[in-house]
Amino acid sequence: MITGILSRRGKPMEAIKLPKKYRDICEEIKNGSYESLAKLNAFEEKFPHQNLAVKAGVEFFDRKYEEAVGHTLLLMPFWDEWYYSNVANEYMMAMCFASKKIGREAEVISALQEEQSRLMEAEEEKCLKGSCQRYNYCKILLNYLQQDILPESRATNYQPLKVPKTASELIAEGKLNTEKDFDQKKLLNLLFMKGSPENTVDYYERIKDLNLGELYYEQACICYQYLGQKDKVLEVIERWAKSKLWDVASPTQVRPMSFFMYPFMHEYLENEESLKRIREAIFG
């Protein structure tokens, strides 16, 4: 067990550390074994909430939204069993996205409001000061459901400079050595911020075989989207899915739940053809 976390009611809480046998089953599911889902039944008594999370993750990526929303609603009081807060945020965002597709917004709104009440009871001072991250994110999701206001993202705010800088200028300014992987990644980031979208994606294509982080995949997607090249956006998403960068928070992350946090991905996550390609990349 990982100790030292407070529950939302102010009592000592333990995040769950899963045994190797359970982690191995999650790895099988992550690699595409639907048959391995049945193996979770042996852990139902000890890890019921982790089982729900695994099942919901699979269901979101199979567009089984009724089941996925239902399972995530059951998870709402138990997020403190995960060490990293992004697990809760990713599932809650996916639940909101799916609920809008099946008309269950009212249930999800109620669940988010209940979550805020629980957090307020446990950490009132932090909530009132605006420093309770999950409380704040619930508010963002309520705006999404009630007013159709998407969460802020780099994609919605992206606007290239009117006079973009060239790669050569950025290399000179940053004194970069483009023979080094670190400097190549740095240049890609600088091109996104100060260069043109065309030069950004051209350079991404040159270095895409490097061990890139999620930020760089996101930037490539944003630029391709800006240029109207949806097929290329999907290609980047596939490479991102294959990278398995999204699974570090918990063994229960058997699907890239973080993808729902990026509004530009939503059209690809709800389309069966593109979703099939994403699944194949995950299993790859």
pLDDT for 250-273, tens place per residue? 999 999 999 999 999 999 999 999
Can you give the pLDDT at residue 155? 84
pLDDT for 71-123, tens place per residue? 999 999 999 999 988 999 999 999 999 999 999 999 999 999 999 999 999 99
pLDDT for 203-217, tens place per residue? 999 999 999 999 999
E strand residue ranges, the chain: 2-6, 12-15
* 231 and 130 in a common domain: no
* 189 and 239 in a common domain: yes
Give the separation between CA 212 and CA 181, rounded to whole angstroms: 9
Where a domain ends, among 151, 182, 215? 151
* 28 and 14 in a common domain: yes
| H/E run at residue 170 | helix 167-174
Residue 14 binned pLDDT confidence (cut-offs 50, 70, 90):
confident
* 94 and 167 in a common domain: no
Give the separation between CA 269 and CA 126, rounded to whole angstroms: 34
* 74 and 161 in a common domain: no
Give the separation between CA 156 and CA 23, rounded to whole angstroms: 37
196 contacts: CB under 8 Å, gap ≥ 6:
160, 164
Where a domain ends, among 151, 169, 194? 151
Q: Are 107 and 73 in contact (CB under 8 A)?
A: yes
> 159 lies in which domain range?
155-283
Give the separation between CA 108 and CA 145, rounded to whole angstroms: 9
* 13 and 96 in a common domain: yes
